[in-house]
Amino acid sequence: MPNLAFAGLLDVAWRDLAFEPFRDGVTVHWLLKGGPVEPSVALLKYQPGAGVPRHRHAGLETIVVLEGIQSDENGDYPSGSVVLNPVGTEHSVWTRDGCVVLIQWDLPVIILGETG
């Protein structure tokens, strides 16, 4: 498989991409859709007030916030932030006003509970 390249993605090129439902209030555009034991890379678009319930990372997760602010129990991450969630870490994720993130995960997360 050749390398994949996405010109302008960190600027605004993601706005022209098609997104599909992912979770309640969150849509996804897959850049590389792995399987149960393969890495995935995607863009996630969160509507205002959307979030992901508390979950544990079975593999490294890397997030680049492209627009808006994503938050978790450790703080707020504005556009341009890079967030690394190592294996075994847990958190829930939310956004007050909506955000778009580039996300890569080595393995799917394990959902532990609903956000509060």
pLDDT tens column, 9-54: 888 889 999 999 999 999 999 999 988 888 999 999 999 999 999 9
Q: Please state the rounded mean pLDDT for residues 68-80.
A: 97
Is residue 63 assigned to a domain? Answer: yes
Query: What CATH number is associated with residue 76?
Result: 2.60.120.10
Q: Please state the rounded mean pLDDT for residues 69-82.
A: 97
The answer to whether the Cα torsion of 35, 98, 20, 92 is positive or negative is positive
- Structural domain range at position 75: 19-93+100-111
Kindly list the distances between the CA atom of residue 16 and the CA atoms of 6, 19, 37, 100, in Å, as whole numbers in the listed order.
12, 9, 30, 13
Report how many domains make up the chain. Answer: 1
Is residue 11 assigned to a domain? Answer: no
Do the bridges between strand 90-94 and strand 51-56 make them parallel or antiparallel, or are there none, so unpaired? antiparallel
Is residue 8 assigned to a domain? Answer: no
Is residue 23 assigned to a domain? Answer: yes
Tokens of 102: 């580039």
Confidence label for 71 from pLDDT (cuts 50, 70 and 90) = very high
* Best CA proximity match to 105, nearest among 81, 93, 87, 90: 87
Would you say 4 and 30 are in contact if contact means Cβ atoms under 8 Å apart?
no
Is residue 41 assigned to a domain? Answer: yes
- State percent of the chain over pLDDT 70: 96
Long-range contacts for 74-80 (Cβ within 8 Å, ≥24 apart)? none
Is the whole-model pTM more than 0.95? no
Q: Per-residue pLDDT for 115 more than 80?
A: no
Q: What DSSP state is assigned to residue 13?
A: G
Mean pLDDT, the chain, integer: 92
